[in-house]
Chains A and B, each alone.
Chain A
Amino acid sequence: GVSQSPSNKVTEKGKDVELRCDPISEHNRLYWYRQTLGQGPEFLTYFQNEAQLEKSRLLSDRFSAERPKGSFSTLEIQRTEQGDSAMYLCASSSWSDPYEQYFGPGTRLTVT
């Protein structure tokens, strides 16, 4: 399945953090979502292979995502703010069935 690390991350305001997602190996599409308390997941960004094809306006300049060689992906948040506290979800889908997304367990980020 899709794996994410770490499962939990507590950081101080102003520090940088990096979250990792390992998709299902044959899946070429990878998505990042953010979920806050009482809300459904909100789309952040999307990769097809190594190309980042779309970014939500939720993704401020402090956020950057990469997917080198079309394999795993990292989501880096610079100068974290308390408003960044959320569950960050990763999902992947295949070329043959792009609309069926498989989600990882998420990384819970807490900014103190």
Chain B
Amino acid sequence: AQSVTQPDIHITVSEGASLELRCNYSYGATPYLFWYVQSPGQGLQLLLKYFSGDTLVQGIKGFEAEFKRSQSSFNLRKPSVQWSDTAEYFCAVNAGYGGSQGNLIFGKGTKLSVKP
């Protein structure tokens, strides 16, 4: 069965520092991968997605992610975080094709705290 693992429950970084949030997936075929951000009181917002092609994808708010098939990973990165990046981040994989088109399987999330 498909699954997503986010090994870090909570990460704290200082403003201006670089960031990498880890995501590992289990999926039999080429996955469709996503990163979402959830700020307090806000809905989930799509940061970026990977379907195929270039394994380094750029997203909104200065985020990027790299798909590594050999490591079954899709880690999220940002060169310099801002206090406003404080939020919870979810990695997700598309559940499959046919009757399961579109529904996402999410990891448990990583809470990011940015110290000013």
- CB < 8 Å: which of A31, A99, A102, A105 contacts B42? A105
**What total of chain B residues lie within 8 Å of the partner, measured CB to CB?**
27
Interface string of A35-48 (1 = CB under 8 A from B): 00011111100100
Q: Chain A residues near B103 (CB, 8 Å)?
A: 31, 43, 46, 54
Give A78-112 interface residues, CB cut-off 8 Å to B.
Answer: 89, 91, 93, 98-106
* A91 contacts across to B, CB distance below 8 A: 44
Contact A43:B108 (CB < 8 A) given known A98-B101, A99-B49: no
A-B contact pairs, 24 of them (CB 8 A): A2-B43, A29-B102, A31-B102, A31-B104, A39-B108, A39-B109, A40-B90, A40-B92, A40-B107, A40-B108, A41-B90, A42-B106, A43-B103, A43-B104, A93-B102, A99-B32, A99-B49, A99-B51, A100-B46, A100-B49, A101-B102, A101-B104, A105-B41, A106-B43
State the Cβ distance, B116 to closest chain A Cβ, in Å. Answer: 26
What number of A residues sit within 8 Å (CB to CB) of B? 26
Count: A-B pairs, CB below 8 Å: 60
B residues 62-116 in Cβ contact with A at 8 Å: 90, 92, 94-95, 99-109
Q: How far, in angstroms, from A31 to B44 measured CA to CA in the complex? A: 13
Q: Which residue of A lies closest to B51 (CB)?
A: A99
CB distance from A62 to the nearest CB of B (A): 21
Q: Which of the residues A42, A53, A93, A105 comes within 8 Å of B43, measured between beta carbons?
A: A105
